[in-house]
Amino acid sequence: MALSLFIFISWFVCILTCYYIIRPFSIKLVRFILTSFLCILLSYITCQNLPRFNALAIFTVVICWLTSIRLIALTSFSTNILLTFQSFLLKILWIYFPILPKTKAQNQWPIIYSIILVIIKLLINHWIYRWLIKCDMGVNYQRIFMLYLFLITIPYILDIEMIFVRILARNKYTLESFTNFPIFSLSLREFWGRRCNRIVHKILKESIFEPIRLKFSSSTIAIMITFIISGLFHVHIWLVAFDDKSSLFPTFMFFFLHGIACSIETNMKFQLPVYVGWTITHAFLLITSPLVARPFIEKGSLFLIRNPTPFINVRWIPKLPLPNFCP
């Protein structure tokens, strides 16, 4: 408890230091180096000795990376924007509380539809969770698809929070959605840019992609650097979660290859037909997915047992019957 309080205070002092001491420096490189040093040091201290196969440990790594990325961008690249300390702090806190006006949100159907979608996601997620634990087998595309279904349905937790926010705010505010039906993506740029993990995407876009594109006047350079940083981000997550050093390079290569593919899409002078674009997008995702999914599939059962999906033990929630076979 004392260590957690110390870390929390240290991050807050870091934010104060970045705004009041480092941000006024006139040399951008100095601001970048000093802020990066503080963020890397605090992230290292925060992520020391985190337990393996623990969801809270993964969440800690994610928060450290996203806070650092946002803080470095605000301190190093946004000095031409007038920011009070309150607005500076709120931009960082948005990571934890991604609230936005309902008019700026996507797919904000009537609340009753959101409730129905939560129920569907919950039932499918619980079904996949129980099936994944039952079928502890090797890496194959069937299990990768099961993992994919598990990951896109587990945001029912955020959807429940979103419903409460909309009710309390009288439908004027909501939460940023975690995903936006990634299965409908017609290109990799649409998958990563509009439909998959929208909270992380917003941080990466505003804090890495846009400043670099403005600096170099090149979307290709901005895309590659964004995906490289995202690759390092996920490498750290896998290292903390599974302590599997053999998966680090393949995980990084997954994001590097997707960066190259998105750069190619950006520079294409023509648009593929809808069905062709959908097929190529999801074929590429499927072919490259073993690079990033292998550690979770090979060691995922232990992780899932230690971190049960929310409400899985609530007796009154119906349980869909499991198939008699394993994929």
Which of residues 45, 73, 97 is at a domain's end?
97
Residues 76 and 13 in one domain: yes
Residues 200 and 247 in one domain: yes
**Tens digits of pLDDT across the chain (327 residues):** 445 888 999 999 999 999 999 999 888 899 999 999 999 999 999 998 888 888 899 999 999 999 999 999 999 987 667 788 999 999 999 999 898 887 777 666 788 888 999 999 999 999 999 988 887 666 777 888 888 888 888 888 888 988 898 888 888 888 888 888 888 899 999 999 888 888 899 999 999 999 999 888 888 999 999 999 999 999 999 888 888 788 889 999 999 999 999 999 988 877 888 899 999 999 999 899 989 888 877 776 778 888 899 999 888 999 989 888 877
Residues 25 and 149 in one domain: no
Rounded Cα gap, residues 165 and 326, in angstroms? 39
Q: Would you state the pLDDT for residue 2?
A: 45
Nearest CA among 208, 259, 203, 211 for reference residue 231? 259
Residues 38 and 90 in one domain: yes
Residues 73 and 124 in one domain: no
Residues 82 and 105 in one domain: no
Mean pLDDT of all residues belonging to the chain = 88
Residue 150, judged by CB atoms within 10 A of its CB (0-12, 13-18, 19+), counts as buried
Which of residues 97, 127, 152 is at a domain's end?
97
Q: Would you state the pLDDT for residue 158?
A: 87
Residues 88 and 107 in one domain: no
Residues 126 and 217 in one domain: yes
pTM of this prediction?
0.91
Q: Would you state the pLDDT for residue 107?
A: 63
Which of residues 36, 65, 97 is at a domain's end?
97
Q: Would you state the pLDDT for residue 246?
A: 84
Backbone φ and ψ for 276, nearest 5 degrees, come out as -65, -45
Residues 176 and 51 in one domain: no
Residues 283 and 320 in one domain: yes
Residues 132 and 245 in one domain: yes
Residues 45 and 173 in one domain: no
Are residues 18 and 77 in contact, defined by beta-carbon separation less than 8 angstroms?
no
Number of domains in the chain: 2
Q: Would you state the pLDDT for residue 204?
A: 94
Q: Would you state the pLDDT for residue 280?
A: 93
Q: Would you state the pLDDT for residue 288?
A: 92
Q: Would you state the pLDDT for residue 276?
A: 92
Cα angle 28, 193, 255 (rounded to 5 degrees) comes to 75
Residue range(s) defining the domain that contains residue 82: 1-97
